[in-house]
A and B are shown apart, each in its own frame.
Chain A
Amino acid sequence: MRIRASGWAFLISFMLGLLAAWNTGANLLYLVVGGLGSFIVVSLIIPMWNLRGLSVARSAPDAAHRGEPFGITLRVNNAKRMPSGTIRIERTGPVPATAAMALYVPARSSILLRTSWTFPNRGVHRLPAMAIRSGFPFGFFECGRPIRDEVEVVVYPRVKSVRTAWIEHLPGARSAPRIIRGEGDEFFSLRGYIPGDDVRHIAWRASAKKGTLLVREMARETSRYVVFALDTLRPPDVANFDELFEDAVEMVASLAVALLNRQYVVSIVSPDRRLSGSEGKSQIRHVLDMLARVMPSDDPAHGGFGWFSYGDEYGRASYAFISADPRQWGRRLPFGGSRVVDLREVPRA
Chain B
Amino acid sequence: MPDNLRRSLQASSFLLVMSGYLALITTQRYTAALAFAPLLFYALAPLGEYLDANSPWYRRITAAVSLLSLGAAIVSLTVLDLLTSVTLLVMYIQAYTLMHRKRISNYHHLHLMAFFLLLAAFVQSPDPEIAPVIGLFVFSAIAALMALHACSELARNEGIGLGEILPLGVFDNGMPAFDTPRHVRGVAAVFAAIAVACFVLMVGIFYLTPRMEAGLLGRSDPVLFQTGPSRTVDLSKGGTIQQSQTPVMHVEFPEEPGGRYPGEMYWRATALDDYQNGQWHSKGVSSIRTEPAYSVPVSDIVASNTGFRGVVERGSWDGAQMVRQSIYMDDTPEDGLPCLTMVERVSVSVNRHAIRLGWSDRGDFSVIILRRGPQRWIQYEAWSDVRRFSPEQLRNAPDRYRELLSAHDYERLTYHDLLPETRRLAQDLTRDQQNVYDKASAINAYLSGSAYLYTLTLPPLPPDHPIDAFIHQTRRGHCELYASALALMLRSLGVPTRVVAGYRGGEWNDSDAAYTVRADMAHLWVEVFFPGYGWITFDPSPRGIESLAARNRLAQAFSRQVLRAKIFWYRDVIGFDRTLQLNLFRNAGLQLFGLGSELFGAANPGQAIPTRASWLLPASAIVLICAVLAAWRKRSRARAHSWYAGALTSDQRRAVTLYGGLRRRLRRMGISVTGLTAGEIQQHIEAAPIVNDVSAVRELLETYNQVRFGGRPLSRERYASLKRLLRSIEFRGRRT
Contact = CB atoms under 8 A, between A and B. Distances in A.
Contacts of B200: 38
Contacts of A37: 201-202, 205, 209
Place the interface of chain A in its size category.
Answer: 35 or more
Interface in A2-29: 18-19, 21-29
Given A41-B201, A108-B173, A136 B163 contact: no
Interface in B190-234: 190, 193-194, 197-206, 209, 211-219
B201 A104 contact: no
A110 B205 contact: no
Contacts of A106: 165, 178, 182-183, 186
A104 B209 contact: no
A24 B214 contact: yes
A282 B215 CA distance: 84
Contact of B164 (A22, A38, A45, A111): A111
Interface in B126-168: 126, 130, 134, 138, 141-142, 145-146, 148-150, 152-154, 156-157, 160-166
B165 A25 contact: no
Interface string B1-33: 010010000000000000000000000000000
Contact of A103 (B134, B150, B643): B150
Nearest to B189: A82
- Residue among B209, B213, B353, B577 with the highest chain A CB neighbour number at 10 A: B209
- Residue among A23, A81, A108 with the highest chain B CB neighbour number at 10 A: A23
A343 B379 CA distance: 97
B160 A33 contact: no
A35 B135 CA distance: 10
B153 A33 contact: no
Contacts of B199: 38
Contacts of A83: 186-187, 189-190
A275 interface: no
B209 A19 contact: no
Interface in A82-113: 82-83, 85-86, 88, 98-113
Interface in A27-75: 27-35, 37-39, 41-42, 45-46, 75
Nearest to A98: B157
B175 A34 contact: no
- Residue among A88, A100, A114, A137 with the highest chain B CB neighbour number at 10 A: A137
A34 B171 CA distance: 42
B164 A137 contact: no
Contacts of A107: 186
B211 A108 contact: no
B144 to A, nearest CB: 10
B573 interface: yes
A112 B161 CA distance: 10
A137 B209 contact: no
Contact of A108 (B5, B175, B203): B175
A25 B215 CA distance: 8
Contacts of A85: 146, 150, 190
- Residue among B150, B153, B193, B353 with the highest chain A CB neighbour number at 10 A: B153
Interface string A190-221: 00000000000000000000000000000000
Contacts of B146: 85, 136-138
Nearest to A22: B212
A27 B576 contact: yes
Contacts of B164: 111-113
Place the interface of chain B in its size category.
Answer: 35 or more
| Majority-rule SS of B interface residues | helix
B166 A111 contact: yes
B574 interface: yes
Contacts of B577: 25
Contact of A34 (B122, B162, B205): B205
Interface in A114-162: 114-115, 135-139
B163 A111 contact: yes
B554 interface: no
Contacts of A105: 163
Contact of B202 (A34, A46, A82, A102): A34
A100 B149 contact: no
A77 B239 CA distance: 79
- Residue among A82, A110, A113 with the highest chain B CB neighbour number at 10 A: A110
Contact of A137 (B173, B183, B194): B194
Contacts of A26: 122-123
B170 interface: yes
B162 A38 contact: no
Interface string A267-310: 00000000000000000000000000000000000000000000
Contacts of A104: 163, 183, 186-187
Nearest 4 pairs between A and B by C-beta? A25-B214, A102-B163, A38-B201, A34-B206
Interface of A: 18-19, 21-35, 37-39, 41-42, 45-46, 75-76, 81-83, 85-86, 88, 98-115, 135-139
13 contacts: A25-B215, A27-B575, A29-B122, A30-B576, A33-B205, A38-B198, A41-B205, A101-B153, A103-B5, A103-B154, A111-B166, A115-B160, A137-B194
Interface of B: 2, 5, 118-119, 122-123, 126, 130, 134, 138, 141-142, 145-146, 148-150, 152-154, 156-157, 160-166, 170-171, 173, 175, 178, 182-183, 186-187, 189-190, 193-194, 197-206, 209, 211-219, 353, 573-577, 636, 639, 643
Given A101-B163, A114-B161, 18 more contacts: A24-B214, A25-B213, A25-B577, A27-B206, A30-B206, A34-B205, A41-B205, A42-B198, A42-B201, A81-B636, A83-B186, A88-B153, A100-B163, A103-B150, A109-B178, A136-B149, A137-B145, A138-B146
